[in-house]
Structure 1
Amino acid sequence: MTQVTDQRATAPGAVPTVSSPAPLRPSPDFGPLDTMRGWAVTAFLTMIAAVTRFTNLDYPTDARTPVFDEKHYAPQGWQMLTGGGVEDNPAYGLVVHPPVGKQLIAMGEAIFGYNAWGWRFASAICGTLLVLLVIRIVRRMSRSTLIGAFAGILLIADGATFVSSRIGMLDIFITLFATAAFGCLIVDRDEVRARIARADAEGRIDASPWGPRLGVRWWRFGAGILLGLACGTKWSGMYFVLAFGLLSVGFDLVARRAYGVRRPWIGTAIRDIGPALYALVLVPLGVYLATYWAWFSSEDGVYRYAVGNQVGRDGPWSWIPGALRSLWFYSGETLGFHEGLTNSAGNHHPWESKPWTWPMGLRPMLYHYADNGVTGCGQNQCVKAMMLVGTPAIWWIAFPVLGWGLWRIVARRDWRYTAVLVGYGAGLIPWFFTLDRQMYYFYAVALAPFLVMAIALVLGDILGPVRKVPIRRSTAGTFLPELPSERRSLGLLAVCIYLGLVIANFIWLWPILTAMSITPGSWHAHLWLPSWR
């Protein structure tokens, strides 16, 4: 820490007094304090999210059958419900994703039956909970209920998460689990700092050069469970396991340094890395295996008895239980299927997109389109379409927002942007290493929560800190009450204009997000870019 010498009242030959321009310890700030107001705002915005996600949830359908890739997951969920918990995929000869998402779809079908409400109910629940989580996470990171509300409004009005919350596919599930795991690590960060602050106050920081032990960390354990569920939905959850493991250890290292631990790097290596590997690697692995409980107990699951059939019983791995070896073979077949879906092998889709288009949503995904026999638009010819497209007022500013976040990290060491950009990077960067395979914009749904978190933090920076300025003395000789500064008032105006633009943009897109009956001219007017066609 930089120190300065105070020369005041120093006699000739005396030793100068050494002082620091910054506090020797972080301020004891471990979370926002407006509990009741925070929950009231969260509940109100979550209720709005629920209304938008559940209204006409059973529309559209393809003659009362699933649309787009619902045609895979809705039947598989029903098979789980009626066939002992296992599913198959006759179209490809094997099941291409782990079971958690389809188990959630099956829960909705158990309540409502095999219909659109049934296979979309779990998605709508998870999409609503996602809004709640983002509000609470941003509120905790920013220490501001207002900025948390900004994030909630943005996510409610995001077309990508909105559509994903209203269709029986897997993307909203992995997005929810990854975001929830991220939130657990943010709470864990605050708890770790509170424990180290307590140890510092009690004089135990210097008891060991490695710093204090941090005890059982249940929030990090919860993050591990959620990451296991993310991997049990799609294997891309493994990207978040790696990123969040590094983020958690980084939080611990910075905390030990902030509180003056003498050897923070070694302390982190000894005290924190081992428990982090347990909580964020072994626990997710155990949860992932547990999600296959029905497959393990089945007699006719796909490749359930690969050992002895497709795989020999002997060999160097024969000591591993046959069920686990069969699952390993099954996973290898699934991986081979995904690896074969490459452009170089001739696999192309008219709505395919690559990851460099995802930050701005330049190539959306058309889930449903009909122009035959459609009525209700007031003309002879009507169309209806359901398109997965991110609200441009949100997605088109991704690069400036990410750039601002990087600047804050470098210039201000702002941990909030570091955390958010780690989550965003985990959902985007790994896809650049497999560019030959087929990819679609719905893979980018996992980016949406982290994008709106970053935008909300930027809006907080635009709003500025809470500063009040006294106005002039009144005629009676007393000071009148203080007023907000002009800087904050202008910031609030800019933020309100932007949020109004986002909401207006979302309302404009509503017809092509919900398959409303519109004229062909209106349909084309909604396709803002050539790449949207």
Structure 2
Amino acid sequence: MIIASESPSVLRRPVAHTAIVATIIFVVAHVVLLLGITTPDKLYFDEVHYVPAARQMLLPVVEGPILNPMHPPLAKEIIALSIKAFGDVPLGWRYPAALFGALALVAVYLGALALFASQERAIAAVLLGFFNQMLFVQSRIAMLDIFALAFCLFAIAAFIHGFRQKRPQSAFALTGLAAGLAIACKWSGLFVLATCIAIVAVISLMQGWRTRFADANAEDWYRPDLWPDFRLSHFVVCFVLIPSAVYLASFVPLYGFSFADLIEAQRRIFADNTTTAIAGHTYMSAWPSWPFLMRPVWYLFEKAGDDRFAAVVFLGNPLILWPALIALIVALRDWIVTRSRDAFLVLAFYLGPYLAWALLPRTLGFIYYYLPAATTASFVLVYALTRKGAPRWLLWAFVAAGCAGFIAMLPITIAAIGTSMATFNRLMLFQSWI
């Protein structure tokens, strides 16, 4: 086997080595994400909702209604701390997004390393996650999604690590901790926690039925001897009590210990996330269209000079995210035919955060809701590109192609670079992208 054949002993690499690589990823990503981040020098797109809410949190006494009550407070609290540290200026608004974007890439690295037991494949996953364009754009705007994404990816990394262990209690407790933090930023963090719960529940149910594969092997996604000491009490602590405690703690700085206010806050969030009575939006799109990149969201498009426009589009890199759909089919085939554990995990953490949107009655949707699935698509791609029989150069050729697509999109990704109308027209391949 090619890259995929690297020995499981990689999992036992010195912690120091992993920490060094993770630190390098963080520092490089952090620096790159900060370049030009203060352009534009005014609030744009949904910053007009979240930055005022963060400002309100800094007031000695909050007068009037709580701003932006339709989302949990943690991400806005982090933005508020940044404003306090750097001032009420563009860097203060957006620095936390760059910080958590870099942390998200570290989480991709840790998740891929736990999944593939290969430094090479883990680095490739990080690059694909960066070049997919979505993470980059969301790491440079004061919105909530990048915070939830980073915590979700750490939850996924911890779960994948625990999945391979005989005693997963510690890793699954970290999963619950990270998932609780994600939910405290945005309720969509529930989707990753629900995916983890579903995996554990299905495996426990099959074990209860004493299910066995006739030709069982060590790489099966299900084994009857998996987690022999993981009990119901462990499940409740890891996946219910820990995330609940972390989530509820995030409301204390805003509401104190008022039980009535806490309940009302949950009611308001629930009502907003389940309502169908929301007006349409120019850039709204339905969840089945997101993987096909049919309708982007233009965060910014304004004249900056003679034939120069400052532009930021949340679209996604077609050279990465369209081929990911083929990779999904490959992984699905391997899970069904060979019962591949890696195929099962990459499918679960792509489809779980994505298909959960189909269950919500809310009619208003945007392609940036696809961000978690688009990021974990890097796992799916690395899996498909490094299967047995694939040439070793294929993975890096694909990464290079993704990089080329990312560079081509920079004029409509970084407002500080800007675009001409000719470049804009050249990049808009479809009328629905405008």
TM range (shorter): 0.7 to 0.9
Match of 1:224 among 157, 160, 176: 176
Report the structure number with the largest CA radius of gyration: 1
Q: Counterpart of 1:430?
A: 356
Matching residue within 385, 400, 422 for 1:500: 400
Distance change in 2, residues 1:38/1:290 (3 Å) = closer
Q: Which runs of 5+ in 2 are unaligned?
A: 1-6
Work out the CA distance in 1 between the residues paired with 2:186 and 2:408.
32
Q: In the alignment, is the contact (CA less than 8 A) between 1:58 and 1:116 conserved in 2? A: yes
Q: 1:521 to 1:110 in 2, by over 3 A?
A: same
Q: Map of 1:252-331 to 2, 5 A cutoff?
A: 271-297=230-256, 323-331=258-266
Asked if 1:367 corresponds to 2:341, the answer is: no
The separation in 2 between residues aligned to 1:277 and 1:125, in whole angstroms, is 32
Deviation at 1:459? 2.1
Following superposition, the deviation at residue 153 of structure 1 comes to 1.1
On the 8 A contact 2:131/2:317 being kept in 1, the answer is: yes
Q: Which of 45, 50, 54 is the matching residue for 1:68?
A: 45
Cα 1:84–1:390 change in 2 (3 A) is farther
Residues 1:122 and 1:111: Cα distance change in structure 2 (over 3 Å): same
Instruction: Tell me, in whole angstroms, the C-alpha distance in 1 between the residues paired with 2:127 and 2:63.
Output: 39
Pairing partner for 2:149 from 168, 175, 178: 175
Q: Greater relative contact order: 1 or 2 (C-alpha under 8 angstroms, separation 6 or more)?
A: 2
Whether 2:39 is the aligned partner of 1:59: answer yes
AA of the residue aligned to 2:419: I
Offset of 1:146 from its aligned partner?
0.6
Label 1:492 to 1:30 Cα distance change in 2 as closer, same or farther (>3 A).
closer
Given candidates 119, 131, 139, the residue that maps to 2:93 is 119
Q: Secondary structure at the match of 2:147?
A: helix
Kindly tell me: are residues 522 and 407 of structure 1, through their superposed partners in 2, closer, same or farther at Cα, counting changes over 3 Å? same
State the 1:231 CA deviation. 1.3
How has the CA–CA distance of structure 1 residues 525 and 141 changed in structure 2, closer, same or farther, with 3 Å as cutoff?
A: same
User: Aligned with 1:352: secondary structure?
Assistant: coil
Q: CA deviation at 1:448?
A: 2.5
State the secondary structure of the residue aligned to 1:31.
helix
Aligned ranges for residues 100-249 of structure 1 at < 5 Å? 100-190=74-164, 192-193=165-166, 214=167, 217-249=169-201
1:269 Cα offset (Å) = 9.9
Paired residue type of 2:195? A
Alignment-mate amino acid for residue 426 of structure 2:
A
Secondary structure, aligned partner of 1:383: strand
Q: Distance in 1 between matches of 2:18 and 2:10?
A: 15
Distance in 1 between residues matched to 2:349 and 2:204, nearest whole Å: 17
The residue type paired with residue 298 of structure 2 is L
Conserved 8 A contact 1:177-1:226:
yes
Residues 525 and 336 of structure 1: CA distance in aligned 2, closer, same or farther (over 3 Å): same
Alpha-carbon RMSD: 3.0
Pick the aligned partner of 1:403 from 329, 332, 337. Answer: 329
Q: SS where residue 264 of structure 2 aligns?
A: helix
Render the CA deviation track for 1:98-144: whole Å, top value 9, x for unaligned: 00110111121121111111111111011001111111211221111
SS state at 2:308 partner:
coil
Partner of 1:207: none
